[in-house]
Structure formats: C-alpha cells, structure tokens
Amino acid sequence: MSRPAWDWRLSDLSNVQKNGRMVFSCFSCGGGSTMGYKLAGYTVLGNVEIDPQMMRIYRQNHKPKYPFLLPIQDFKALPNQELPPELFDLDILDGSPPCSVFSMAGDREDKWGGEHAFREEQAVQRLDDLFFDFLDVAEKLRPKVAIAENVRGMMVGKARGFISLVLSRFRELGYKPQLFLLNSATMGVPQKRERLFFIASREDQNLPSLQLEFNEPPILYGDIRSGEGSPINPDSKTYTRWHKRRPPDLNMGDVTEREEGKMSNFNTILLKDQKVANTLASSSVFLRTDQPRHISDMDAIRMQTFPSDYDFMDANVQYVCGMSVPPLMMKKLAEQINLQWLSEK
C-alpha cells in the first residue's frame, strides 16, 4: 500500500524525474520551498540565508551547490563576475522575505520602518525593506520567473499600499506580476495555512496569465496524528484553563475570555482530530483537545509536510517547520508553473 503524499522522505527525491528547470532560493530557512521544487522535478542550485543555524541545517539536508551565508543586501552587492554563471540563467528565483511586520498579531504597523533582528544571531535589518532587496536580486539575475511568498496580513489595512509598491516595482523591472492567495489545505497539506504569492514572469517571454485552482480534499488532524507529545505542566495556568475548555473553544483565548474576562492566549490552539489543523506558526502553542498534551514533533513535521527523515540537528522542530513554506504546497505550485509556463510546447 502506497504512503500518503504527506508521509515522505528525503530519500524519495532520488526517484523524482528531473524536468531540467533551475531554481535559486532566497531567505531559504530550512528549505521548505526547496523541497517543494525538488518534489516537482526542479534542481535547486543554491540559497541565500542570513541565519547560521538555518544554513547549517539547510546544508545538512539539501547539499546546495552554491550556498551563500550572508544578508541578502550583501548578496545583491556581489559583483556579477563573482557569481556562478548558472545563476544568470534561472528558471525561477524564489524567496520568502521575513514577514513579521505584516503579521496580524500585535501592533504590527508600529514595527514598519524600524530596524529589527529577526532572531538571535542575525543582523539588524529593516524587515519591510527585504521584499525590495529580493526584487533587486531579481533585477540582477533576470530569472524567467520570480516567486515571492508572504503572509495574508499584507492584504489587510495599510499594508495593501505595500502590495501596490511591490507590484509597481515588478513592472518597472520588466516583469508581469500576478497575486494569488492560496490555502495549503486545498493543496494536499494537513493544515489551514493561507499565504500570499507574488508570481511574476519576465515580459519578453509573452507568457499567458497563470491559472491556479487547487481542490485537494482536506486532511484532518486525526489522519496525521502521531506520538504522545509532551504533557502540559500540571502546575501551570494553561493546565487549569485546559480543564475548563468547552467543545466550541478553538483556542485558549476562548477559555480565558469566557472564564477570566481576559483577551489573551489566542495563540494557544486546541487541535481536534476531526478538524484540519490551524496554521503552524513558529511561535504558536498547539494542544490536543482530548488529552492534556502538546502536539508531538512528528505532528508538526506532518502538518508542514516535511519529510520524516529530515535532520533538524540542534534546532527546534516547530520553529523550522513554522518558518517554512510547506513542501507539498510549493510542489503543487511549481508543477503548474512548469506545466503552464516553462514546458516546451
């Protein structure tokens, strides 16, 4: 009996037929997008990553031909003659610029324009500028297609003006951009994860508009649930609140609002076997509804459709998964781009 698509291994990639398309990944983190492209038959030549720990993990799992451990601002400033010629003949330039300033959580608009370190060990950067740094790389390398992924929050409130600036910049560079809001739950991923994709083709190719429609059946948490997970600390407020949950509650915020009159803990999610899991964020807390336990690492791996033999080394499993594009989500997208745009007629 064949395994479901979400139950796969890195070793399976050796059986995937190559399509001859070349990709380079920016802001690669643990390589969620990289694995999606590889599952779709692409060759990923290398990556740019600022985080030393993520680069160690990326090297361990993906063996990139051309890894660049440096800020994207430094990468785009490298003289063209110092870069491999292959990077100037890309089919796809891929990137997921860090998106915390567009998150729906907290006082997000207060963060715009400020300088932040995305996490410890990283350089301080203006995170809302990173999208335009990525576009500068597109201007430098001139790939056939550029793909940038970001959070749904970019479509809300004042951030919509940022979208207009990004689209205008794509057009200035000679690209025809399209914008897609995709839900991973319709793409074979056991998780409701809405993400915004900017997909742009170079104008000189005269390609038609990309058509995307995904209707995979939902995969419930109970279908992928595995292992025990760590118990909730019995001395914690979370444990007390967990015992006060009611069937309609979706998260611990529903409990605290009802029982304590507080608006907090909405980032602590209650997972039900008969429901599709919520977005796996790097900072979220996921609790099982039917037992006082957190989800297991394998649950997180399967929710994000990472391979079961992925080597997380010294990193937190949920952090790496939550910071990545689900590989099966990118696989579905990459397949359509090859089918509709890159394949020879």
Strand residue runs (E) in the chain: 22-26, 43-49, 66-69, 92-95, 115-117, 124-126, 145-151, 175-183, 194-202, 268-271, 285-288
Q: How far apart are CA 64 and CA 209, in angstroms?
A: 32
Give start-end residues of each CATH 3.40.50.150 domain in the chain. Answer: 10-215+326-342
CA-to-CA separations, 143 to 8, 86, 235, 296, 327, in angstroms, rounded: 30, 11, 55, 40, 21
Closest CA to 151 of 128, 120, 122: 128
Closest CA to 342 of 91, 111, 124, 119: 91
Least-confidence region, from 4-18, 98-112, 314-328:
98-112
Least-confidence region, from 61-65, 149-153, 250-254, 307-311:
149-153
Q: How far apart are CA 109 and CA 319, in angstroms?
A: 24
Q: How far apart are CA 152 and CA 135, in angstroms?
A: 19
Mean of pLDDT over the chain:
92
Contact 100, 154 (CB under 8 A): no
First to last CA, the chain: 36
Confidence band, pLDDT 50/70/90 cuts, at residue 108:
very low
Q: How far apart are CA 157 and CA 163, in angstroms?
A: 11
User: Is residue 117's pLDDT more than 80?
Assistant: no
Pick the residue with more confidence: 104 or 22? 22
pLDDT over 70 percentage in the chain: 90
User: Is residue 275's pLDDT more than 60?
Assistant: yes
* Residue 119, pLDDT score: 47
Out of 26, 29, 99, 321, pick the active-site residue: 99
* Element housing 168 (H / E): helix 159-172
Instruction: Please tell me the CATH code under which domain 10-215+326-342 is placed.
Output: 3.40.50.150
Active site residue 26: no
User: Is residue 293's pLDDT more than 80?
Assistant: yes
Contact 127, 179 (CB under 8 A): no
* Residue 161, pLDDT score: 83
Q: Which residues contact 173 (CB under 8 A, 6 or more apart)?
A: 135, 138, 139
User: Is residue 106's pLDDT more than 70?
Assistant: no
User: Is residue 51's pLDDT more than 60?
Assistant: yes
State the pTM of this model: 0.92
pLDDT tens track for 60-75: 999 999 999 999 999 9
Contact 15, 311 (CB under 8 A): no
CA-to-CA separations, 130 to 100, 125, 190, in angstroms, rounded: 11, 8, 29
pLDDT tens track for 178-196: 999 999 999 999 999 999 9
Q: How far apart are CA 192 and CA 186, in angstroms?
A: 8
Amino acid 81 reads Q
* Residue 215, pLDDT score: 97
Q: How far apart are CA 333 and CA 276, in angstroms?
A: 21
pLDDT over 90 percentage in the chain: 86
Residue with tokens 């031909």: 65
* Residue 344, pLDDT score: 63
Closest CA to 211 of 42, 335, 32, 97: 335
Q: Classify strands 22-26 and 66-69 as parallel, antiparallel or unpaired.
A: unpaired
pLDDT tens track for 4-39: 999 999 999 999 999 999 999 999 999 999 999 999
CA-to-CA separations, 46 to 92, 331, 332, in angstroms, rounded: 12, 17, 21
pLDDT tens track for 125-169: 455 689 999 999 999 999 999 999 998 888 877 767 889 999 999
